[in-house]
Structure 1
Amino acid sequence: MSRNAYTWILLLFGCIGALLAHQYQSPQWKEQSYLYETFETVDGKLKYRHQGEEILIEELVDYADSPLRQSALDQLEGDPELNRQWVKMPDNEIVLLKTDYHYGVWSLLPAFITVALCLICREPIIALLGGIVCGAFLMGQPDIIDKVLIPSLGTESAAAILVLYLWLLGGLTGIWGKTGAAQAFAQSMTKHFVRGPRSAKVVTWMLGILFFQGGTISTVLVGTTVRPIADKAGVSHEELSYVVDSTASPIAVFLAFNAWPAYVQAFIFVPGVAFLATEADRIAFFFSSVPLSFYAILAVFGTFLLSMNILTFSGSRLKKANQRAAQTGQLNAPQARPMSSGEIHRAHVPDHYRPNQWEFILPLITLLGIAVGSFVLLGTPKVNWAFGAALILAATIALVKGMSLEDLLDGFGDGWKSVVVASVVLMLAITIGGISKEVGGGLYLIDLLGERLPFWLLPVTLQLITMIIAFSTGTSWGTYAIAFPLAMPLAWVIAMDQQLANPELFMMVCFATVLNGSVYGDQCSPISDSTILSSMTTGCDLMDHVKSQLYPATLAASLAAGLWTVIAVFSL
């Protein structure tokens, strides 16, 4: 049978399964606890801080009286009357209880259908839409457009994708293409630093280390900057996209001077554990666990080896891509369908205009300065400000140098056209990620563990579970919100029950496995924004990128699993 036949058969069975599951599978409700910074005002009111805002806590109840505690949910018939409630724990800690649910193994169906369709038909839009349809049916929402797609695409996250990656990124790279700035920079780099594919990949690796904020900002900056350089040097797009992706989130894990510690600490509170009692304690715990982030360390080191043309550990796909580019000059595989069109990477400079590399360097410095500076001053990198300022500066320089407004707008149009498809894919990926979380895919996987594991098996089990969750949902940060509130108490219970001599070390190992397992799954997922952006900015076929990086990433994850198991044994 053809790919199309397999695609339609899989989609049909997925939809039928989702409808049957919604009809006959009752949701299983689970307690979720979240810790925020709470304080009492001078007039005696209780408030908490969230994203810089102070919000009033109107009602507080004892945990034993809450209908959202797990023992009450286990006896529940139907849906709970509340979905969130502030409670005082037995140790007087104040936490926010929420309810989530899963449909058992059926909760994995939307993500499974999406990934399977990606592998079969190699069309991410079709795959994502298929997963969204199955997820909507599983939730009992046949009105997919009005009840699922429009609410998801009307969220702040989707709007940010549209503004940042379509308008700002597309516009900036379009101007660089129109002015020839990116090509001028590439020629200068080639003349002074790049002598061939190896030095081009090393420059890419070094920029990935430099832009250590992680995630989408790193992939966009590095991919956009190095693409002209690497193309001129003859680097295959599979190798380039792998280097860009594998130095994005992994480097942010152990150069964690970014938003990650502040975000993660809210999910790792465990009642009665002294070294996780306060926010400062939890952030210190994060940094103490950094040396145990074996996957991140091995991923970055392995990427350096590939950049040096040491391909022993890179897998057959990256080796073949390297050979193809060296022997034939073809940077993509023959059947590849790159994520971005060629307009963004080809110069269309007007005859009278003289390109200069500083037209690329100055906006890039502005972009980095605002992103890093806003993080230092405000605690959050203002990426939109950074890209907006860089865009305005690039356009102003072009106009001052004599480019006509018509030519400038042509550049905008070329840049926007080049990222339209990728922006659609990103917005659909947000939708399927939200659906997977709503139907409880991650909760089901964690719930599957129980508390009967031998302690030495728990770290690698948590690693595998978070790898699957992040791969299925396309997000590491979303996986943290799911996994940490369940994994850390589970690790503490096992450490106490099995009387480990060094429970803090064991907790650090389990913490590192969740942190790094989530990064692996996010990095390798075809529905992850960082994966999509790595493919888009480097001009690589999405599934060629996913398949080629699976081997080296999995090898690093396997070695890390062995190291975590050995360290866990020493905590006995």
Structure 2
Amino acid sequence: MEGSIFSLLPPILALVMVMFTRRVLLSLGVGIVVGAFMINYDSGNVFLESVNQIFSIVDGIFIDDGAINSWELYIIFFLLLLGMIASLIAITGGSRAFGEWALSRVKTRVGAQLITVLLGVIIFIDDYFNSLTVGNVGRPLTDRHRISRAKLAYLVDSTAAPMCVIAPVSSWGAYIITIIGGILVSHSVTQWEALQAFVLIAPMNFYAIFAILMVIAVVYFKLDLGQMRVHEKRAIETGEVVDKKKGAVPGDHGDVSTKKGKVGDLIWPIVTLIVATVFFMITTGIDGSEGDTSILAIFENTDVAAALLYGGLVSLAVTLILSFSRKLGVSEIGFGLWAGIKSMLPAIYILIFAWTIISIIKDLGTGAYLASLVQDTNFNLAYLPVILFIIAGFMAFSTGTSWGTFGIMLPIAGDIAAATDISMMLPVLAAVLAGSIFGDHCSPISDTTILSSTGAGSHHIDHVLTQLPYALMTAGITIVGYLVLGFTGSAVIGFIVAAVVFVIVVVIMKKVVPVLKGA
């Protein structure tokens, strides 16, 4: 079953179950079990072998080749640190004070959302960092304006990855530029350097650009549709920014402040987190660059997980100092730390399940099967950007990893362009990047989608279902742009046509989607 159409069954099954049961862990668990059974179906003891494989994968999340698996563990530790920081900020009254301060200056719901979008655009160093930081900073402000957490998660997620994928000075940019450089060298393409090619590709990443523009349009014109409308209506009318019937959400502490806090109780821990994390990204990047201290080399070799952990520890230290300065007792601080840990456990459980099913999917050869569809199919080259966009999107959706999709699909796209029409090299690479972000936005097993839910304090399934319609509309606009690009050979004409379609879509939405009262 490996490397065949059946390899699509586990991720599709997990998605269908998520949509119908609204129970993420159960759905992911079923996908994991079914995938493990598929891998071991011809072994002597399918049940025992499947159980052993699942336990081996979970063990590998923590221990790899006898050593600590720093990437996954550091991300988990950072989530726990972030939960503790957010909890202490809430207890000291920092979140309440920031909300009151912002409410006196940001008078409208639209303004509160646009500030969140602006933060998402500005903090483009790394998507994990973006999702968790912007969500936590924006939450007090959006809560005060009765903006649902599902809406906040959409604002965060749909600006994080799209910005990171088009910014050369980011962890994503460095990774992509490295892959592109290898592709150009392997095909003896000398007309562009790797960084130059990346800069030229960025405007052709139609999905990333129009995803950001769609967020702005949704906020400014109040285009709340489908499940998003349900969440926004409840938040406006009742003040409940989450659906309380679904239980607690990651990182949510409610109004638990025991002191009259100050704005600085929130600002200083967050500023410290940003400055310290960027500092450690640069230092770990320099250490890994082996003498090459160019900006590109630093971000190519930076250890993002370690930087997040170290930055989180420094921020927690500052938060503890502020907590003691506000006369919080040891018992109150201990309660806050434990409450912060507990608040992050649901997100960590989902993340571990997601990492497990991603490993199962990799063993099934889902990505390799989807890649083979491109290589084995004969078609008009004008359709190449669209086909690669769709395949990359489905691969990222099925595997839950845009980075994994980059690694598999970018070289394949480069091979196809080199063997058919070298002038299509940059457009097809852009199409792969765009499709990867699209699939990532739709996937319930994507780590960035999970962390966006966590940062915003939203139920994960609510975020997935509310973001999906907007992602699909943006993908439709992107497909039109890539069709025009393919047939005309002009990225400029493709972008202009896509922009016109975007405007038409927004105008139609304005006519058919009534504005919520109070929005």
Q: CA deviation at 1:181?
A: 1.2
Q: Give the conservation status (yes or no) of the 8 Å contact 2:206–2:478.
A: yes
List per-residue Cα deviations over 1:133-165 (Å, max 9, x = no partner): 122222223234533332334343331232111
Q: Give the conservation status (yes or no) of the 8 Å contact 1:258–1:375.
A: no
Give matches, 1:5-404, under 5 Å. 21=1, 102-140=2-40, 141-144=49-52, 145-154=54-63, 155-166=69-80, 168-192=81-105, 194-268=106-180, 269-270=182-183, 273-275=187-189, 281-311=193-223, 315-333=225-243, 336-337=246-247, 339-340=249-250, 342=252, 344-349=253-258, 353-376=259-282, 378=285, 379=298, 380=302, 381=304, 382-404=307-329
Q: Give the conservation status (yes or no) of the 8 Å contact 2:132–2:456.
A: no
Higher RCO, 1 vs 2 (CA within 8 Å, ≥6 residues apart): 2
CA distance in 2, matches of 1:400, 1:514: 51
SS at match of 2:179: coil
CA distance in 2, matches of 1:276, 1:406: 64
CA separation of 1:534 and 1:272: change in aligned 2, threshold 3 A: closer
CA distance in 2, matches of 1:215, 1:423: 17
CA separation of 1:326 and 1:507: change in aligned 2, threshold 3 A: same
Q: Give the conservation status (yes or no) of the 8 Å contact 2:58–2:352.
A: no
List per-residue Cα deviations over 1:376-409 (Å, max 9, x = no partner): 4532251111111111111012123422222111
CA distance in 2, matches of 1:367, 1:421: 23
Q: CA deviation at 1:487?
A: 2.1
1:471 aligns with 2:397: yes
Q: Give the counterpart letter for 2:369 in structure 1.
A: Y
CA distance in 1, matches of 2:476, 2:14: 25
Q: Give the conservation status (yes or no) of the 8 Å contact 1:463–1:513.
A: yes
CA separation of 1:389 and 1:489: change in aligned 2, threshold 3 A: same
Aligned to 2:510: none
Q: Give the counterpart letter for 1:484 in structure 2.
A: L
Aligned to 1:57: none
Q: CA deviation at 1:216?
A: 1.6
Q: Give the conservation status (yes or no) of the 8 Å contact 1:107–1:439.
A: yes
1:553 aligns with 2:471: yes
Q: CA deviation at 1:206?
A: 1.1
CA distance in 1, matches of 2:138, 2:371: 40
1:458 aligns with 2:370: no
Which structure has the highest strand share of the two?
A: 1
Q: Give the counterpart letter for 1:331 in structure 2.
A: V
CA separation of 1:365 and 1:493: change in aligned 2, threshold 3 A: same
**Which portions of structure 1, spanning 4 or more consecutive aligned residues, are displaced by more than 6 angstroms?**
none
List per-residue Cα deviations over 1:163-199 (Å, max 9, x = no partner): 1112x1111111112211122112111112x213211
5+ residue gaps, structure 2, are 41-48, 64-68, 286-297, 491-519
CA distance in 2, matches of 1:329, 1:143: 45
Aligned to 1:70: none
SS at match of 1:345: coil
Q: CA deviation at 1:330?
A: 3.7
Q: 2:437 aligns with which of 502, 511, 519?
A: 519
CA separation of 1:389 and 1:454: change in aligned 2, threshold 3 A: same
CA distance in 2, matches of 1:261, 1:448: 27
CA separation of 1:266 and 1:212: change in aligned 2, threshold 3 A: closer
CA separation of 1:376 and 1:150: change in aligned 2, threshold 3 A: closer
Q: Give the conservation status (yes or no) of the 8 Å contact 1:338–1:539.
A: no
CA separation of 1:363 and 1:555: change in aligned 2, threshold 3 A: same
Q: Give the conservation status (yes or no) of the 8 Å contact 1:476–1:519.
A: yes
Aligned to 1:487: 413
Q: CA deviation at 1:336?
A: 4.2
Q: CA deviation at 1:478?
A: 1.5
Q: Give the counterpart letter for 2:235 in structure 1.
A: A
Bigger Rg, structure 1 or 2: 1
Q: Give the counterpart letter for 2:187 in structure 1.
A: V
SS at match of 1:212: coil
Q: Give the counterpart letter for 2:434 in structure 1.
A: N
Q: Give the conservation status (yes or no) of the 8 Å contact 1:110–1:134.
A: yes
1:446 aligns with 2:375: no
CA distance in 1, matches of 2:133, 2:471: 22
Which structure has the highest helix share of the two?
A: 2
SS at match of 1:203: helix
Q: Give the conservation status (yes or no) of the 8 Å contact 2:57–2:359.
A: no
Q: Give the counterpart letter for 2:242 in structure 1.
A: N
Q: Give the conservation status (yes or no) of the 8 Å contact 2:126–2:172.
A: no
Percent identical pairs in the alignment equals: 28
Aligned to 1:422: 347
List per-residue Cα deviations over 1:66-85 (Å, max 9, x = no partner): xxxxxxxxxxxxxxxxxxxx
CA distance in 2, matches of 1:163, 1:104: 37
List per-residue Cα deviations over 1:473-521 (Å, max 9, x = no partner): 21111111121222221222121xxxxxxx33x2111111111111111
Q: Give the counterpart letter for 2:481 in structure 1.
A: L
CA distance in 1, matches of 2:369, 2:249: 33
CA distance in 2, matches of 1:338, 1:299: 29
CA distance in 1, matches of 2:130, 2:472: 22
CA separation of 1:396 and 1:332: change in aligned 2, threshold 3 A: closer
Q: CA deviation at 1:233?
A: 0.6
Aligned to 1:10: none
CA distance in 2, matches of 1:557, 1:471: 13
List per-residue Cα deviations over 1:222-272 (Å, max 9, x = no partner): 111111211111112222111111111011122332122321234343465
Q: CA deviation at 1:415?
A: 0.8
List per-residue Cα deviations over 1:27-58 (Å, max 9, x = no partner): xxxxxxxxxxxxxxxxxxxxxxxxxxxxxxxx
CA distance in 2, matches of 1:260, 1:532: 18
Q: CA deviation at 1:424?
A: 0.9
Q: Give the counterpart letter for 1:323 in structure 2.
A: K
Aligned to 2:66: none
TM-score w.r.t. the length of structure 2 is 0.82
Q: CA deviation at 1:104?
A: 0.9
Q: Give the conservation status (yes or no) of the 8 Å contact 1:275–1:285.
A: no
5+ residue gaps, structure 1, are 1-20, 22-101, 496-502
CA distance in 2, matches of 1:272, 1:158: 32
List per-residue Cα deviations over 1:387-439 (Å, max 9, x = no partner): 11111111012123422222111110111111111111111111111221222
CA distance in 2, matches of 1:138, 1:153: 25
CA distance in 2, matches of 1:539, 1:375: 26
CA distance in 1, matches of 2:55, 2:452: 31
Q: Give the conservation status (yes or no) of the 8 Å contact 1:451–1:490.
A: no
Q: Give the counterpart letter for 2:213 in structure 1.
A: F
